[in-house]
Chains A and B, each alone.
Chain A
Amino acid sequence: NAGVMQNPRHLVRRRGQEARLRCSPMKGHSHVYWYRQLPEEGLKFMVYLQKENIIDESGMPKERFSAEFPKEGPSILRIQQVVRGDSAAYFCASSSMTTSGNTIYFGEGSWLTVV
């Protein structure tokens, strides 16, 4: 059973460009989460999605960031007009349910570097 798949693993963007990060959840999982890990900081929740629905985006910066999880295909985290402060590791995670005891499994991450 394949785990959570993220790509690209590493991405370099110039300031002002767009970054698109993709995530395919584990087989059988319909709940997707995105977390960000900034240098010297812990992991911060960004957004929680189900198919075609954004359930909670309370951790998303109010501008330039968006996420989707279409009916078909992977979840996408999109960052427009990137700035150096967006350089971070972005982790996607998935679960089969949202009960509190259910385990959330993480992907290998996408490392974004803005130059």
Chain B
Amino acid sequence: AQSVAQPEDQVNVAEGNPLTVKCTYSVSGNPYLFWYVQYPNRGLQFLLKYITGDNLVKGSYGFEAEFNKSQTSFHLKKPSALVSDSALYFCAVRELGYKLSFGAGTTVTVRA
């Protein structure tokens, strides 16, 4: 069975500081990992994904994520957070086929 865990319900950072949202995964085969962001009362927007290749993946809005196979992690990062980054972030894994399994989500609050 495939699963992801987001160990932090909330992350609070000051604007301009680095932002990290943690995600660990558990799959029996090769993982296909995704990050999505959800703003209030909106749908999920795709940020980035890891399929294969470079462990550092760059995505939308200045976000990047680092795939670490030994630690089974796929943490989302942004070097300098903006107030507008305040949202709910979901990590997801897709092991085989079509089904995405989502983490519980992490609420990010960036204070001015």
Contact = CB atoms under 8 A, between A and B. Distances in A.
A100 B46 contact: no
Given A42-B90, A101-B49, A106 B102 contact: no
B43 A91 contact: yes
B51 A106 contact: no
Given A107-B43, A108-B42, A42 B97 contact: no
B71 interface: no
B98 A31 contact: yes
Interface in B21-67: 30, 32, 34, 36, 41-46, 49, 51-52
A107 to B, nearest CB: 5
Interface residues on A, range: 20 to 34
B contact residues, range: 20 to 34
A interface, over-half SS = strand
Interface of B is mostly: loop
B83 interface: no
B65 to A, nearest CB: 14
B96 interface: yes
B42 A42 contact: no
Given A95-B98, A98-B98, A103 B103 contact: no
Given A6-B43, A56-B98, A100-B32, 13 more contacts: A42-B102, A42-B103, A43-B100, A43-B102, A45-B99, A56-B99, A100-B30, A100-B95, A103-B46, A104-B100, A107-B43, A108-B42, A109-B43
